[in-house]
Amino acid sequence: MFRKASLIIYKQKPAVIQAIEDKISISFVSGFKGGKALIENQKVRDKDILFLHPGPAENLANLVTEDNIKASDTFTKAIIETWELLDEEDQQAFRFDEIAELSIDTKVLENIFPLYFSLIDSVYFKTEQKESQLFFTARSKDEVAALLEKENEKQNEAAIKDAFIKRLRKKNVDLESDAKFLQEIEAFALGKTDKPKYLKEAHVKETIEEAHKLLLDVGFWTMSKNPYPTRHGLSMHSSTSFLDSPPHEDDRIKLEHLAYAIDNEGSTDPDDAIAYDGEHLWIHIADPASTVLPDSAIDKAARNRGATLYIPEGASRMLSEKSLKDYALGLEGENSYSRALSFKIRITEDAAIEDISILKSFVKVKRLSYKEADEQKNSSQLAPLFHLAEKNFIKRKNAGAIQIQFPEASVVLKKNEGADPSVEITALVEYESFALVREMMLLAGEAAARFAFKNNIPFPYVSQEEPDIPKKLPDGLAGQYRLRKSMKARSLGVTPSQHASLGLSFYSQVSSPLRRYSDLVAHQQIRLFLDNKTVLTGDAVLERISQGDAASRAIMRASRESELHWKLVYLLQNPEWEGRGIILEQKGKTAIVFIESLAMEASVHAPKAELNDEIFLRVGKIQLTKLEVQFIEA
């Protein structure tokens, strides 16, 4: 079959046999330059080539042009005529040279390669390779019609896509008809895929920030679109995993004292309450672990979330919204009983924990806002709690606790019909009851850690190494900033160790099992112990809390980025904003400032500023998609 000067195909490129020895020597077209074929030589095996025509071909370069190695209308017409001659019922397979004899003048060797490329690109014949020959079988009329229709659809799609790209370059898209394409860009901007579409063709840099900017420019997104939770793989909706109603438990004790759940005004998920009976401090915590058993479907779903996501748009809860009615504290009013896991703690005069017992309880809970708690701090019910909190703070401070305080602000979105929400930023009032609740929850965490250690319960302990505090700290916020920078990262594990910045030798977090997975694991372990059941091993606890902690870190990043996003939206909505900044750190001509009214830090050109100086700022350039803002001295 093969002989010198035969026309062949090598790796879908035109070729001619030059000699046949142990291997076959060929010349083939490797490309084109200036319209002329570039010829290379190669030795190949017979199975590497396809036979087309015996030739003889004197000069390959004379047979091939850049245009005739593509399908062409002339040869496609000849192929159709050949197809029409053949009996579709026969289903006979023809060699390429046989098809060629029916379709073209095979004596004109310049026709061979164009026919081949037109034939393999056509819908009229099925192709099958046997050894070094191609065989072609005529398709039925129905098959051809279906393939032609599909081909037309592709051509139409390509034309529609090309028209979209042209509009996209001009940033003049049709939001309705172009939605399909824009949604594919959106998927990249949201981090749902790492394969950008259409950006390169539209001369846009292939980054999620530029995709975000493009979607804003064409009006597919507005500046109220917050992509950050989705980019971190987080749901913007609360868990839908069904949580059973609390089980009946004979050992759940009904307590008659009234406990106080103190939280932000408008809070919908109170999960802790406190009381003092004259002898014991009671810290009552929501008890979802009564239903959420280790490795249940709900437990795994909570582990994947890690924590509740709080962003200005609302809360995306670790446990379902429906669970709040059964498990949050005090939602039904102070005359109804709430189920709790209660920490009964006896404290010495110097605030050391002398005794701790943990029990399942029914407790009456009265809800108070921080403001209401401050107003009632001298009442007979709350005054002892404030006193215990103060003693605990002094104990921790004497043990080296570090208190870092920066002003905070809340970001609130006000809905506007048919428009982006208006953003409001309000400074948080520093209520004394903030410290009360903080100290009570720290006592609960310390008590739980000591209880677990005493009873050999594998437990999620939180620790932190001692910070590297400079010998000399500046006063004011600049000192607080330097102090914060010296802090070491906290660790979550199953080996107890000191938490240096809290001034505690044992610590765990147990106060938020509705919204933090490691707290839920702690509660599961305590309940297994109380029920005389086998507790999870240390390795099992570590595996669970590590997975939950990784998810909660993503939540922290998404929450931080979301809040910054909305603060920049606020500045875009209020371009005339001016405010005060306090110098935290000086780096050459650049200063790090804290902007009190926004509760945010920024870099500012301020070459002559000193630490803790106040400078007045206005807004310069804002790049929403990069979460960047430039402030300028006013």
Is the residue at 605 inside a domain?
Answer: yes
pLDDT of residue 480: 95
pLDDT at 67 over 80: no
User: Per-residue pLDDT averaged across 512-528, rounded?
Assistant: 97
Is the residue at 90 inside a domain?
Answer: yes
pLDDT tier, 311 (very low <50, low <70, confident <90, very high otherwise): very high
pLDDT of residue 131: 85
Please check whether residues 416 and 283 belong to one and the same domain. yes
Contact indicator for 385, 274 with CB cutoff of 8 Å: yes
Is the residue at 228 inside a domain?
Answer: no
- All residues at 6 or more sequence positions from 591 whose CB lies less than 8 Å from its CB, including other chains: 583, 584, 585, 603, 604, 605, 606, 609, 615
Separation of alpha carbons 272 and 308, rounded Å: 16
Residue 428 phi, psi dihedral angles, 5° rounding: -80, 135
- Window from 59-73, 91-105, 164-178 with minimum mean pLDDT: 59-73
Enter the tokens of residue 107.
């004596």
Is the residue at 487 inside a domain?
Answer: no
Angle at 557 between CA 466 and CA 292, to 5 degrees: 90
pLDDT at 481 over 80: yes
Enter the tokens of residue 410.
């809340």
Contact indicator for 235, 314 with CB cutoff of 8 Å: no
pLDDT of residue 305: 95
pTM for the whole structure? 0.79
Which H helix or E strand runs over 524? helix 517-530
Q: What is the pLDDT of residues 184-195, one digit of tens each?
A: 999 999 999 999
pLDDT at 323 over 90: no
pLDDT at 370 over 80: yes
Tally of domains in the chain: 4
Residue 119 lies in domain: 7-139
Please check whether residues 291 and 328 belong to one and the same domain. yes
Separation of alpha carbons 299 and 56, rounded Å: 76
pLDDT at 374 over 90: yes
Q: What is the pLDDT of residues 572-581, one digit of tens each?
A: 999 999 999 9
* Length of the chain counted residue by residue: 634
pLDDT at 87 over 70: no
pLDDT at 588 over 70: yes
Please check whether residues 385 and 310 belong to one and the same domain. yes
Is the residue at 104 inside a domain?
Answer: yes
Q: What is the pLDDT of residues 414-454, one digit of tens each?
A: 998 888 899 999 999 999 999 999 999 999 999 999 999 99
Please check whether residues 126 and 150 belong to one and the same domain. no
Please check whether residues 307 and 187 belong to one and the same domain. no
Q: What is the pLDDT of residues 111-144, one digit of tens each?
A: 999 999 999 989 999 999 888 889 999 998 989 9
Which CATH number covers residue 194?
Answer: 1.10.10
- All residues at 6 or more sequence positions from 305 whose CB lies less than 8 Å from its CB, including other chains: 234, 235, 239, 318, 517, 551, 555
pLDDT of residue 88: 63
Is the residue at 484 inside a domain?
Answer: no
Residue 249 is given by DSSP the state: -
Tell me what the pLDDT averaged over the chain comes to: 93
Please check whether residues 95 and 188 belong to one and the same domain. no
Is the residue at 323 inside a domain?
Answer: yes
pLDDT tier, 534 (very low <50, low <70, confident <90, very high otherwise): very high
